Structure 1
Amino acid sequence: MAAVRGALLKHLRVNATPLPLLRYPKTTPNGIFNITFNAIRRFSDEVMGSFLDKSEVTDRVVSVVKNFQKVDPSKVTPDAHFQKDLGLDSLDTVEVVMALEEEFGFEIPDNEADKISTINQAVEFIASHPQAK
């Protein structure tokens, strides 16, 4: 019976390849897998899919800024600086960032929001953010 079982299993076996995340796992002396944070991050990035397209983000950011009450829509370009080109003060810039948060469905941390002073900077940040919708 064992010979029949062995012959049958020999023909029914399916080749399986390990997941890229666990292809060459390193083990610690006690046999526990040591998976690096970068390996987990690469795997989660693959699962989550790609980020938003920059041209789509640019169009949406420009649209949000053009619709802001204190902005002259004819001055809005992808290279525009909120204060120098559009005449917005720091509170207006905060309002624009809040409008961008609403448009893209995620919260921009204060330390990152403080760095956004141009449309291009907003586009770069949003296009590279995994939670942007």
Structure 2
Amino acid sequence: MSDTLEQVSSVIVDVLKIDGKGINMDTRFIEDLKADSMDQFFLIDGFSEKFNVSIADEDARNIKTVGDVVKYIDSQKK
């Protein structure tokens, strides 16, 4: 598991209060993790805080999977 994926998973576990087993790059927030719109807001906020990045609303709307977040964060760190 990549470092970014591991840290993203820890935010997901913290925000959604789940055990985190089975979270991978293909995991979908709505369909697989049952995140509602408020959960998604708190997840984006958590990712922004954890990685010290700003995620624009337009970008946040395009984030559907864990892999989307990992790729976005990795692209912002460069």
Q: TM-score, normalised by structure 1?
A: 0.52
Which runs of 5 or more structure 2 residues have no equivalent in the other structure? none
Runs of at least 5 residues in structure 1 that lack an aligned partner in the other structure: 1-53
CA RMSD, 1 decimal = 2.0
| Greater fraction of residues in helix | 2
Number of residues paired by the alignment?
Answer: 78
**Correspondence for 1:104 among 51, 75, 78:** 51
Q: Percent identity?
A: 29
- Closer/same/farther in 2, CA of residues 114 and 98 from structure 1, 3 Å limit: same
Distance 2:17 2:29 in 1: 11
Query: How far apart are the structure 2 equivalents of 1:119 and 1:93?
Result: 12
Structure 2 residue identity aligned to 1:118: T
**Structure of larger gyration radius:** 1
In structure 2, the partner of 1:58 is: 5
CA contact (8 A) 1:58 1:78 kept: yes
User: Which stretches of structure 1, 4 residues or longer, exceed 2 Å deviation after superposition?
Assistant: 69-78
TM, length-normalised to structure 2: 0.84
Greater displacement, 70-79 / 99-108: 70-79
